[in-house]
Amino acid sequence: MSETDHATPSGRAIERGGVYAHATHSRVEVTQIWQGTQWTEAVTVPSTEEREIGRPIVVRYIPAADGDWRDELAATLDEFHAAIASAD
């Protein structure tokens, strides 16, 4: 994996620029992967084990149907993984 890749709990790599099938938004493109962030305008990282170890990872993505920067969404890595796993 490169430094922009992050493994999900299943071991699947999430890559910046990658396109994934998403349960809610059909196809999405990952625009950023932030590690160590506490908050974005769309996601507040919960007080879970992920935060306790100081490495929360936030994935930002754009739904392919629209592709408009203003519609960029965000989720924690675990939430994003769950959405793409249930779309498979």
Range of the domain at 12: 5-87
Confidence (pLDDT) at 46:
54
HEC profile of 6-33: EECCCCCEEECCCEEEECCCEEEEEEEE
- CA separation for the pair 48, 62 (Å, rounded): 26
Count of domains for the chain: 1
Tell how far CA 51 is from the center of its chain: 15
- CA separation for the pair 77, 40 (Å, rounded): 13
Question: pTM of this prediction?
Answer: 0.65
What's the mean pLDDT when you consider all of the chain? 71
pLDDT: is 84 or 9 the higher one? 84
Q: What is the pLDDT of residues 27-51, one digit of tens each?
A: 888 988 887 665 555 555 555 544 4
Question: If you search the block for the tokens 């929360």, which residue do you land on?
Answer: 56
